[in-house]
Amino acid sequence: MVRKVSVGLLGLGTVGSGVVQIIDQHQDKLMHQVGCEVKVRKILVNDLEKKRDVYLNGTRLTKDVDEVLNDPDIDVIIEVMGGVEKTRDYILRALRNKKHVVTANKDLMALYGSELLQTAVENQCDLFYEASVAGGIPILRSLVEGLASDRITKMMGIVNGTTNYILTKMSQEGREYEEVLKEAQELGYAESDPTSDVEGLDAARKIAILGTLGFSMNIDLDDVEVSGISRVTKEDLEYGDQLGYTMKLIGLASRAGDKVEICVQPTLVPHSHPLASVHNEFNAVYVYGEAVGETMFYGPGAGKLPTATAVVSDLVEVVKNMRLGVNGNSAVMPQFDKKLKSAEEVNAKYFLRIHAKDQSGTFAALTSLFSDQNVSLEKILQLPVKDSKLAEIIMITHKATKKDFENILMQLKDLDVVEDVKSSYRVEGDGIQ
């Protein structure tokens, strides 16, 4: 019977400090849950002299990773240091040393998850990564365990707090993108280099992980079609609002038959949709199952204690498995071969905003182009462009194939009556009827 579990922690930044804090302050809860003491034995850090704002309770700090990975008394490695290549090497070494691993590293799992999980199985070790997606929201365990008997057909979610904060402020306060981005950086919601967040890369890594688990197939990061919010304007949001929609950066994974679509893009959702009410830095994932119907998981997507809570919850699961002697049996390898939908097989509604000449024949030319591509229009809004002879035309199509809509975008640029294609976005659901 396991009497004590020793943890090696890689990293003592924001999340690492939260992990130490929770393990120390919730020791009675952990003892009740797992029936034994859980202790952080050693922590890998870059600077031994740095002042810490967390009580270490006698835990040894080290700059030598071998002291952690090769310590025979350490049972579980928790990785919260970030990075990819070096971290991958550390985790592989830990697993081959028969140490269980908990990680919060979405970049690592999106790129090397299959390899790491296979190594864990081969060494009869657990590898858990709940905190890698949506921080404190238990979405991965819900997919793997709570919805294990169902067949997931679609997942769409707000999985990046930075972009949701920016879009919320732009929508509610009528502000420009650059202004709100600067504010987000000053408040610490956005990095000094925000590219990963605002261009959708962070969300893409998370939706790749969700797609792999939800559809039981190996979804790679390169399979995700990605576009970010840096070109979204307050005018786009205002016109979307007039038509009954709210803009969100949505990670989408959908399945029809044996084929899937995986993408991240600014998307208009109806004001009535639950995701439209997810504001600021909060995250939410909407899941459709054939049996359960529609469910939504909502909460803080980042932060010291929410993310650390997910990490320590994984640790509890590891310790429970240790006491039962079933480590290494949790990972379920993908069941299906990956088949991605082609552009002809992806169907969606689209928002389109153009500047066109305000003259007779303009609408005839536009409707003829749409008709030639078998795309019909659901809503049209036309307004004059101030101090010009142009009209602002906003359209929302009925469902069309991605291929047909892309053809329309290409041909619009060559149409004489069109001055400029200002923007286009995917639309999910119905706005104002």
Active site residues: 206
DSSP-assigned letter for residue 223: G
Pinpoint the alpha helices (H) of 97-160. Answer: 106-122, 139-141
- Can you read off the two tokens belonging to residue 429? 């659901």
SS3 265: strand
Rounded CA separation 302/132 (Å): 10
SS3 427: strand
Q: Give the Cβ contact number of residue 195 at 10 Å.
A: 12
Q: Which of 87, 32, 49, 40 is nearest to 65 (CA)?
A: 87
Q: Give the Cβ contact number of residue 341 at 10 Å.
A: 17
- Can you read off the two tokens belonging to residue 166? 């920016």
Any idea of the CA torsion for 42, 67, 325, 120, to the nearest 10 degrees?
110
Q: Which of 272, 283, 264, 256 is nearest to 223 (CA)?
A: 264
Rounded CA separation 105/129 (Å): 7
Rounded CA separation 177/233 (Å): 7
Residue at token pair 């060559």 = 414
Q: Is residue 205 within 8 Å of residue 108, measured between CB atoms? A: no
Q: Give the Cβ contact number of residue 13 at 10 Å.
A: 13
